[in-house]
Amino acid sequence: MGIKGDAAIVGFAQYKPEKYQTAPQMFHLEQVADLAGQALRDSGLKASDIDGLVINGPQFHEASCFVPAMAAEYLAFGLILQKLLIWEAQHLSP
């Protein structure tokens, strides 16, 4: 029921907040890849270390369903890994 506390946050990436009118526009798949790359560099891990994905389901531009599968496909995670784990999380960030 509880948590052992073994797992840890080891890296992150965050776009600088900008006004919508002047912020760069990017496809959501592009942002996923860009943020993933930045977070990996911050952590010191390699892309091949990643074998799980948690991503927002709604409000995703390029798909209204099968969002995790599409993002995993774009990141080529599915080609590398056998045990990809996917959850769709909604508004709740932590």
Partner 1 sequence: MIWRAAKAIEAGLCQAVLCVIPMRMAPFGPEDDPAWMMKAMRFGGHSTVYGAPEAEFDLPYGHLGQNTGYAMIAQRYAAMHGYDAAAAAKIAVDQRFNAQANPEAIFYGKTLSVDEVLASRMVADPLHVLEIVMPVAGGAAVIVASKELLSKCKNRPAHITGFGEHLGYKSPTYAKDMLYTPVGPASDFAFKTSGLSRSDIHCAQIYDCYTITVLLSLEDAGFAPKGEGFRFIKEHNLTYQGDFPLNTHGGQLSFGQSGSAGGMSQVIEAVTQIQGRAGARQLKKCDNAFVTGTGGVMSEQGALILQ
Contacts of 41 (CB under 8 A, 6+ apart): 11
33/13 Cα distance (integer angstroms): 11
Q: Which of 26, 39, 84, 31 is nearest to 56 (CA)?
A: 31
Q: Please select the residue that binds partner 1; options are 28, 65, 70, 79, rule is CB under 8 A.
A: 28
Pick 17 or 79: Cβ nearer partner 1: 17
Q: Does 31 bind partner 1 (CB under 8 A)?
A: yes
71/54 Cα distance (integer angstroms): 10
Q: Does 79 bind partner 1 (CB under 8 A)?
A: no
Q: Which of 90, 12, 30, 8 is nearest to 55 (CA)?
A: 90
Q: Please select the residue that binds partner 1; options are 55, 63, 69, 70, rule is CB under 8 A.
A: 55
Q: Does 40 bind partner 1 (CB under 8 A)?
A: yes
| Chain residues in the site for partner 1 (CB under 8 A) | 1-20, 23-32, 35-36, 38-40, 42-45, 49-56, 59-62, 71, 75, 83-85, 87, 89-94
